[in-house]
Chains A and B, each alone.
Chain A
Amino acid sequence: MPLPDDPTICPRCAFETIDRLATSPVPGVWDVLQCRQCLYTWRTTEPARRTRRDAYPDQFKMTVADIENAIEVPAVPPLRRAG
């Protein structure tokens, strides 16, 4: 669905495809948005340090490599052979 404040990019990974997960029960107050790449989720009324790419802290930023290379917890075990 189209988002109100175009253009929006993910504050965390800068991906440009953003979904809307929820909208405020009181109309027009806020939306809850989510990055389709890193799943970062934020409410539009949160402080800039959580919602704007230029204000987002470097230590929490994430790259495609970070996402793809993140360790699995717990690791997927081997399939048990039947019989």
Chain B
Amino acid sequence: MAHDDLRSFLDTLEQEGQLLRLTEEVLPEPDLAAAANATGRIGENAPALYFDNVKGFTDARIAMNVHGSWANHALALGLPRNTPVKEQVEAFAARWDVFPVAPERREDAPWRENTQEGADVDLFSVLPLFRLNDGDGGFYLDKAAVVSRDPEDPRNFGKQNVGTYRIEVIGTDRLAFQPVPMHDIAHHLRKAEEAGEDLPVAITLGNDPVITIVAGMPMAYDQSEYEMAGALRGAPAPIATAPLTGFDVPWGSEVVIEGVIESRKRQIEGPFGEFTGHYSGGRRMPVIRVDRVSHRTNPVFESLYLGMPWTEVDYLVGPNTCVPLLKQLRAEYPEVQAVNAMYTHGLMVIISTAKRYGGFAKAVGMRAMTTPHGLGYVAQVILVDEDVDPFNLPQVMWAMSAKVNPADDVVVIPNLSVLELAPAAQPAGITSKMIIDATTPVAPDVRGNFSTPAKDLPEAKEWAAKLQRLIAARS
């Protein structure tokens, strides 16, 4: 069943034993971030955290780590909490085929209950803002869905973008904002700034769990995230019209912030501890003037901790990065079996593929680097055979150790594009990229001695399923 807002998903997490309520008084810093940081260190089925007793606040409600485990990710997609990762990615890929599912417009959005406008806007009075990492330049909105339109084609629903970007609060009504040049909103901003115009934006916080997944998903420029959310939910995504911008925003959001990115202005922002496990910034970034805030009564502030992986963001964007790459590769190369792009947004990708002929796997690796997402990420590709599970890292390491002849199977290509946040890039935005072909050579590539592999027994798969059932029944 689909969740229409964050609150109903928090209820589901609680019923499934995946929500931990922290009732004792905590400090806004460092406790909130430290607790969420710790969820990434206590195993892969950690719960979401809910705080409502934060020192100095009278009515703060803060949810963290909502997507921060495989169990929570499964529940967000309406799957059983113990669904294995590979099956979650396959289910996600199968639902993609239903795209597009038209959204359903509703008029009674609960965030219409309260409004601040113009000089009355004060983000600190609506949101219990706090710092994540020691070196962060300030307090961030890091789990928002930001809606913008193509200024040259504003009525095109598909080109309306819903994306997640880092946003620093730099005033009671001012935000600094990071659009990575590869991302859709950077195209919108460039077109607006070339014309000398401000770019209107609607920033929605505390969204239903699938909106958050599609907002962090590398989709094609003219594909609608709302139509993808409908496909993933198995039900039309509920949307409403934002009062100031007229943009389409999630019906179920806790808070809707509207304003403009001020044209041709840059201001110091950051640093911020990023998903790369490194700080980036301070850089001169675009700034947003907030003109209107709409919010539910007693809004829940949803945030996520990120820093050295694994953290919530890795569970959140790991699967949704695998699926577009899988689909785009399979479109031309149906031999591709599975794609694991779960390490640092796909800076490193593992692909399993059958081979058409000698050299084929390396071609699949090069294609991964030229997909739209690959242009800004995919700096290392490991190719494995069709019978290796790319999510099973011991199997991948076996393939690397047994099948790679470095002189022939490692290819390094200099001076390719990568997002500027990549810590190893030099200069920022430029990197070499590497393919490691850990597949078995096939004719006419006749290298090595691979003629007598040991295979799993034919009955082993059935036994694995049986043992898993027995173990599950025991607990």
Report yes or no: B137 in contact with A73, Cβ–Cβ below 8 A.
Answer: no
Binds A, one of B104-112, B164-172, B448-456: B164-172
Nearest residue (CB) in A for B266 is A72
Contacting residue for B134 out of A32, A57, A79, CB 8 A = A57
Tell me the complex Cα distance, A70–B341, Å.
32
Let me know if A77 is at the binding interface, CB within 8 A: yes
**What is the interface residue range for chain B against chain A?**
35 or more
Q: Quick one: given A43-B131, A79-B194, A79-B196, are A32 and B124 in contact (CB under 8 Å)?
A: yes
Q: Quick one: given A21-B124, A21-B171, A50-B29, are A80 and B283 in contact (CB under 8 Å)?
A: no
Nearest residue (CB) in A for B280 is A73
Interface residues of B in 171-187 (CB under 8 A from A): 171-172, 176, 178-181, 186
Chain B facing A: main interface SS: loop
| Binary CB contact string for chain A from 28 to 49 against chain B (1 if under 8 A, 0 otherwise) | 0110101000111111011101
**What is the interface residue range for chain A against chain B?**
35 or more
Let me know if A67 is at the binding interface, CB within 8 A: yes
List the B side residues contacting A4 at CB < 8 Å.
none
Nearest Cβ in chain A — how far from B369, in angstroms? 22
Interface residues of A in 1-51 (CB under 8 A from B): 12, 21-22, 24-26, 29-30, 32, 34, 38-43, 45-47, 49-50
Q: Quick one: given A21-B172, A26-B56, A60-B271, are A73 and B420 in contact (CB under 8 Å)?
A: yes
Nearest Cβ in chain A — how far from B188, in angstroms? 11
Question: Which residues from chain A sit less than 8 Å from chain B, CB to CB?
Answer: 12, 21-22, 24-26, 29-30, 32, 34, 38-43, 45-47, 49-50, 57, 59-60, 62, 66-67, 70-74, 76-80
15 CB-based A-B contacts, threshold 8 Å:
A22-B122, A25-B59, A29-B55, A30-B28, A30-B56, A39-B176, A40-B138, A45-B56, A47-B29, A50-B29, A62-B282, A73-B285, A74-B189, A76-B264, A79-B195
